[in-house]
Structure 1
């Protein structure tokens, strides 16, 4: 059981955070459509900045450790591309493009973590 935790520790945490981010983005979009007043709370820039900081930290830890273990660039490259998209989305005004770029970035980051995990098997 300890070996399973060792293999999944950082990538599992990274995938979990990516999933939470994706849920946040999708739920925020739905709530904005339904409850315009709730958008002010959920669109607080601090939430996005902290989320990006966590994504960068976990990405560096998990993808970096995976690269050292298996030596493959692709998982780290795809994960970094996703983080870049998420960071780029922070520069856009809130709206459809910001949400789309964030969601696509989260999907790329999650894919990077998944590829990293598969390469470490």
Structure 2
């Protein structure tokens, strides 16, 4: 059973990095399409995307980085990822637009860095 944890954690770290990249694409693409072209505002800026994204990011980071921290005993990946999740949570309180996108992008980059560091530590 213990041999399975590193495999699961590594998969979750990679999934977390992928979701972080997709989130950045969503934020930047959404702003470009909505602000630049006036397309898709009701769909792309729907708060459901942000709530579900934060929930997924929190679950994946908690499991992957939590297991990694228990294994390698280093706090840095955990602290960086939790700071990123805090930025993402703060973005939910910001009005739709550039402020929300900047907070979200900072957050997902920090979460992705936490996942990368977690992969390297293992």
The verdict on a shared fold, with TM-score over 0.5 as the criterion, is yes
After superposing the two structures, state which structure 1 stretch, 67-76 or 25-34, moved more.
25-34
Match of 2:111 in 1: 109
Extract unaligned runs of 5+ from structure 2: none
**Aligned partners of 1:7, 1:84: CA distance in 2, in Å?**
22
Match of 2:46 in 1: 44
Alpha-carbon RMSD:
1.8
Within 5 Å, which residues of 2 pair with 1:14-53?
A: 14-53=16-55
Moved over 2 A (4+): 4-8
How many residues of Structure 1 are paired with residues of Structure 2 in the alignment? 119
Checking the alignment, whether the CA contact within 8 Å between 2:27 and 2:105 is kept in structure 1 is: yes
**Aligned partners of 2:104, 2:74: CA distance in 1, in Å?**
25
1:10 Cα deviation after fit: 1.2
- Work out whether 1:87 is the aligned partner of 2:53: no
TM-score by length of 2: 0.90
Extract unaligned runs of 5+ from structure 1: none
Q: Deviations over 1:7-61 (max 9, x none)?
A: 6211101111111111111111111123324111101111110011000000101
TM-score by length of 1: 0.91
